[in-house]
Amino acid sequence: MMTVLRSRRFHLLSTFVAVLLASLLASELLSQRGRRGNRFAELEKQAIAQPFVGVRTNDGIEAGLFSVQSTGVSAKPVLDAARAFLASLSEAHRARATFRVDDPEWRRWANQHSLPRQGISFEEMDDSQREAAFALMKSGLSAKGFERSRDIMRLNYSLGEITSNFEELDEWFYYLTIMGEPSASQPWGWQLDGHHLIVNYFVLGDQVVMTPTFMGSEPVIAESGRYKGVSVMQDEMKRGLELMRSLDEGQRSQAVLETSKHGNNNVAEAFSDNVVLDYTGIRADKLSAPQRDLLLALVSEFVGNMNDGHAKVKMDEVRDHLDGTYFAWIGGVEKDSVFYYRVHSPVVLIEFDHQRPIFMRLPRVPTRQHVHSILRTPNGNDYGKDLLRQHYEQSHRAALALASTAQR
């Protein structure tokens, strides 16, 4: 009898200790997340307080790279889809989801899961609104880009399964906003904002700028659960490694910044709109013709998330500046290595980074199961800012000319 009582007491004590430890751990995790949230909120505040300049080198902004002109690629499908999405919303939801075309809201995107979002989430949409939202994404993205985006959303659910944390991590915790009034002639755009997936999509006539675009995931491959087998960021990883491994010893000595990777290396993520980043690595004019093709294929892997017609326009722009494009590398080159790479030219900046784990129970070193990538337009044209500036200037001149004519 005494043995049974001791056993029960031990069991109760063990249960109490386990619950207490779990409670303390949960409290500490919440405290850590709160501190991270406060830190990122402060970073956001500081970043938005700075006037937008754009990614640039220490030599400053290179002017004259972008111009308001027709691309010959219709943006009407995107316009129609945006109007249909807005029409599907209630008046109250529409008010929450719309901002001015030049609103600072563009710049408040963040990869972090814990920061507050603006707009309308997929979670609160009904089925018809969700389909309208997907139609907007499909109109602006390529088939590959849309599926990649959906898979990132699905893997966010997988992370919720792994961590048992569906309060913060779910397939539908992604928010849509419309910037400006969708128009065939006036500037406008849309933004998708959520954990590991941000798309900024600016439209002026038939011109499109789809940067900054952030894509990543933890995990990048679902090994179990509802979406077992879903994977992302594998082609970006393989193409980068293929290009790096094609370099000879002399070329590698120029491209490699560090041979080992110990931490996170991306520098142009959220709240880094004005980052100063000099060119480094190997210039594309030092590559062979086949290697230059590999570099273009790598860039296309990121640019190709945009619908095919506008992706071709952007790739033509990239080719025009190919000789001034740099490729840099940090990390190993073995088939299982973790690494970081950067592609940087006057008109495109790409970063790919194997990151330390945040949620997954892995050693605190970079892992292939946590990837971040960022695509930007340097020299002042993220969010289409340079095109918007020129549009305002042209509209102002036209208004002055009209007023002058009227006075005569």
User: What value does the mean pLDDT take over residues 121-141?
Assistant: 98
Segment 235-245, tens digit of pLDDT: 999 999 999 99
Which strand (E) or helix (H) includes residue 203?
A: strand 197-204
How far is the C-alpha of 191 from the C-alpha of 172, rounded, in Å? Answer: 15
User: What value does the mean pLDDT take over residues 100-119?
Assistant: 93
Q: Tell me the pLDDT of the chain averaged across its residues.
A: 91
Whether the pTM exceeds 0.75: the reply is yes
Note whether 187 and 202 are within 8 A (CB): yes
Please report the beta strands in 17-143, taking only residues with DSSP state E, as ranges in sequence order: 98-99, 120-121
User: What value does the mean pLDDT take over residues 100-115?
Assistant: 93
Q: State residue 405's pLDDT score.
A: 63
396 pLDDT band, cuts 50/70/90, is: confident
Note whether 278 and 342 are within 8 A (CB): no
397 pLDDT band, cuts 50/70/90, is: confident
A 10 A CB-CB count for 265 gives 22
Asked if pLDDT for residue 287 goes beyond 50, the answer is yes
Note whether 210 and 172 are within 8 A (CB): no
Segment 240-273, tens digit of pLDDT: 999 999 999 999 999 999 999 999 999 999 999 9
How far is the C-alpha of 18 from the C-alpha of 100, rounded, in Å? Answer: 52
CA Rg, the chain, in Å?
24
Backbone angles phi, psi at 298, to 5 degrees: -65, -45
CA atoms within 13 A on the CB side of 262: 1
Q: State residue 21's pLDDT score.
A: 38
User: What value does the mean pLDDT take over residues 115-132?
Assistant: 96
Pick from 197, 135, 191, 147: nearest CA to 172? 197
Q: State residue 71's pLDDT score.
A: 98
Domain ranges of the chain: 54-229, 234-383
Segment 7-58, tens digit of pLDDT: 455 444 443 433 343 344 344 444 444 455 577 778 888 888 999 999 999 9
User: What value does the mean pLDDT take over residues 197-211?
Assistant: 98
The fraction of the chain above a pLDDT of 90, given in percent, is 83
User: What value does the mean pLDDT take over residues 61-85?
Assistant: 98
Q: Which tokens sit at 243?
A: 């290009």
Q: State residue 398's pLDDT score.
A: 74
Asked if pLDDT for residue 188 goes beyond 60, the answer is yes
Please report the beta strands in 67-160, taking only residues with DSSP state E, as ranges in sequence order: 98-99, 120-121
Q: State residue 320's pLDDT score.
A: 98
